[in-house]
Structure 1
Amino acid sequence: MAGSTAGQGDHEGERTAFAIALRGAIAASGLSLDRIQARLRARGASVSVTALSYWQSGKRQPERQSSLSAVRVLEDILGVPAGSLLGLLPPPRPRGGAAKRRSSGAEPLTFPRETLQPLLDRVGAPHALDSQHQLKLVGLHDLCEIAEDGGQRAVTARAVFQAGADGQDRWLLVQAQGDPAAGLPELHAVRNCRVGRAEADETHGLTVAELIFDRPIDRGETHLIEYSLTNAGPPYPECQNTYYREFRRSVREYLLEVRFAPGTGPEQCWQYSRTGEAGTIARRRLKLDGGDGVHAVALDFGPGIFGIDWD
């Protein structure tokens, strides 16, 4: 199971109030967005012109701690009373804590069974959460692409399976969208598979789909597939600075890459994981590479969650 953390309510009224006030303050100041960005940068607050545009249009709202700090500086630059813009923002949405702290075991960690079960029924896999599967996920490589505005542009996945019985011909994908209000991603079969039955729950941002192999495999055989999930934008769906996978069974090797738009790599990244009933989350600092990317590897991992988050 894959995806960003589950989104909360959209707070549309508060977003509009903030956007209207910000747009009015910018207009009254006579400053262009480029000049505002330059003044923010001179005072140690890094905000892109794109982000400022989204904030004043209501397409996005500041949520990260660094963005909220930038709004405080912005109030001073625009000459409005301290707190007059911040006070129009709703509380920041949680960054996946509640979703990740569900008990492990038969229940999915990311979403409750009662939400997922109707989709499983409709794709013809009503017992998927309880039955013993004869297809083992041996290796998985996820590449998550983060756009300039900080949203999730796309995820490309390569998965290798090994059959435990003859005639294995499909894998069931469950994907959770981190920002349901942004709409569901488009699923594309890239190599060695095709999309079969697929069902979606737009309210909760869930997609369940069959990925059907281009040939059945027998006991001991392996099969590699590649697929992608592409989001519409800009603005791209809010991913709350994280990407993770939930594994209900063990995987021999999981490689997770997160690649940021050129020049937008964050200052700090961490890998995190959680296994077992205790729910303890282990974290480790990661370093960006020269291509504005970061990666983490899990070996013989699961059941549990494994992901990367960033400032």
Structure 2
Amino acid sequence: MALVRHGGARDSGLVPGRNETFASALDAAISDAGLTLDRLREHLASRGVPVSRSALAYWRHGRSKPGREASLRAVFELERVLGLPSGTLTSLLGPGEERREPRERREPLMERRRLWPSVRPVSIALRSPPEDQVRFWSVHDELVVGERQERLLRVRLVAEATVDGVTRMMTYYQTEDLARRAPRFAAVHCCRVGRVRTDDANGLLVGELVFDRELAAGEVAAVEYELVFPRGRPVEGYHRRLTRPTPLYTCRVRFDHHAPESVFRFEQRDLAAPRRRVERVRLGDDHTVTLAARDVRAGIVGTSWAW
């Protein structure tokens, strides 16, 4: 997994589980918030995400699910409007087992060295487990950029064990700012940080996340953690490197008053490949930009901006 949630939300008590559906979670959250669908639609429109009242009703009662990228952005904003932890709703949108298994057979894992060419010595030292021990239901990132520098990265992911006895997984973060000290882990939930190794010559940080229980095949863990960054040079982009297909990926980048002039999203097959599917992304009035994608292939998904 690569490193390359809306803070302050109240605890809704909604945790992704096998019996929880997107419709039931949304219905409970709307009822708890005491909002009408019209009022909810107005909140979304004010955030630059227009959604019809009928679409909200269909989602709430399970008659349809968000599927297009614009709809996924609306769900991401719904979590904020309803005061839910990031990923509460979006993590329930992953495809079912009947869709996910064939896709993963068609699109195998990507070798770590194609995304982190210098990672092998650190992986050997930490005895990193095979990447195929877990599959992702969803990955959610939120990056806070202040004074044009990375300040904080919040990550929430939902992972499923593919074999019995899974106890840990690895996280990776890499920077081009080799003069900056490595970030530190903070605010870890539903797991703990194990061993951490850095490769300062390549700007690489590798951390071990130890689950709060041993997972049997098919069991799911929803973990959250943060990376806090020391001061460094201005950043002009952020990306996630995925060694496996991922049903749902979302990313929010939040800027302070130093907002960029333009923001673009892009994809790459690996570090050596050219960028593709480059699209301009709208920056909201609150200086945030949101990226959402379903059925993401192994590779790189990211944003870049110009100050």
Length-normalised TM-score, structure 2: 0.61
Structure 1 Cα separation of the partners of residues 131 and 226 of structure 2: 27
> After the TM superposition, which residues 281-296 of structure 1 pair with which residues of structure 2 at under 5 Å, given as runs?
281-296=276-291
Letter in 1 for 2:119: L
Offset of residue 108 of structure 1: 3.2
Amino acid at match of 1:214: D
Q: Are the structure 2 counterparts of residues 241 and 280 from structure 1 closer, same or farther at C-alpha, using a change threshold of 3 Å?
A: closer
Amino acid at match of 1:270: F
SS where residue 162 of structure 1 aligns? strand
Cross-structure match for 2:263: 269
Q: 2:144 corresponds to which residue?
A: 145
Q: 2:248 aligns with which of 230, 248, 253?
A: 253
Find the aligned partners of 2:247 and 2:280 in 1 and give their Cα distance: 22
Q: Which among 116, 121, 129 is matched to residue 118 of structure 1?
A: 121
Give CA deviations for 1:69-97 in whole Å, capped at 9, x if unaligned. Answer: xxxxxxxxxxxxxxxxxxxxxxxxxxxxx
Does the C-alpha gap of structure 1 residues 217 and 189 become closer, same or farther in structure 2, counting only changes over 3 Å?
Answer: farther
Matched, 1:184 2:185: no
Contact 2:113 2:120 in 1 (8 A): no
Q: 5+ unaligned residues in a row in structure 1: which ranges? A: 4-103
**Of 289, 304, 307, the match for 1:309:** 304
Secondary structure of residue in 2 paired with 1:2: coil
Q: What is the deviation of 1:240? A: 3.4
Asked if the contact 1:108–1:248 (Cα under 8 Å) also holds between the matched residues in 2, the reply is no
Distance of aligned partners of 1:178 and 1:143 in 2 relative to their CA distance in 1, 3 Å threshold: farther
Q: Does the Cα contact within 8 Å between 2:166 and 2:216 map onto a contact in 1?
A: yes
Q: Note if contact 1:273-1:305 (Cα within 8 Å) is conserved in structure 2.
A: yes
Instruction: Please tell me whether residue 135 in structure 1 is matched to residue 150 in structure 2.
Output: no
Q: Note the C-alpha offset of 1:189.
A: 4.8
Report the equivalent of 1:240.
235
Q: Tell me, in whole angstroms, the C-alpha distance in 1 between the residues paired with 2:173 and 2:235.
A: 16
Which deviations, in whole Å up to 9, do the C-alpha atoms of 1:258-283 show, x marking residues without a partner? 1001x221121111112389645211
Q: Which has the larger radius of gyration?
A: 1
Which amino acid letter does the alignment assign opposite residue 123 of structure 1? L
Aligned partner of residue 271 in structure 1, secondary structure? strand
> Match for 1:2: what amino acid?
L
SS in 2 for 1:226: strand
Alignment partners' CA distance in 2, 1:273 and 1:222: 28
* Whole-Å separation in 2 of the counterparts to 1:239 and 1:110: 23
SS in 2 for 1:229: strand
Give the whole-Å Cα distance in 2 for the aligned partners of 1:300 and 1:192: 25
| Aligned-partner residue type, residue 165 of structure 1 | V
**Aligned 8 A contact 2:150 2:235 in 1:** no
Q: Distance in 1 between matches of 2:145 and 2:236?
A: 9
Contact 2:153 2:227 in 1 (8 A): yes
Q: 2:259 aligns to what SS in structure 1?
A: coil
| Structure 1 residues 278 and 119, CA gap change in structure 2 (3 angstroms) | closer
Query: Matched residue pairs, number?
Result: 200
Aligned-residue sequence identity (percent) comes to 28
- CA RMSD, 1 decimal: 2.0
Residue 180 to residue 110, structure 1, CA distance change in 2 (3 Å): farther
2:218 matched to which residue of 1?
220
Contact 1:198/1:207 (<8 A) preserved: yes
Distance 1:182 1:278 in 2: 27
The residue identity in structure 1 corresponding to 2:300 is: I
Aligned to 1:133, the other structure's residue is in SS state helix
Aligned with 2:202: secondary structure? Answer: coil
In 1, distance between residues paired with 2:134 and 2:234? 30
Q: Distance in 2 between matches of 1:299 and 1:140?
A: 11
Of residues 209, 212, 215, the one that matches 1:211 is: 209
In the alignment, which residue of structure 2 is the partner of 1:158?
156
Q: Aligned partners of 2:278, 2:119: CA distance in 1, in Å?
A: 29
1:46-125 to 2 correspondences below 5 Å: 105-106=110-111, 108-112=113-117, 115-125=118-128
SS across alignment from 2:119 = helix
Distance apart, 1:191 and its partner CA: 0.6
C-alpha distance in structure 2 between counterparts of 1:226 and 1:198, whole Å:
17
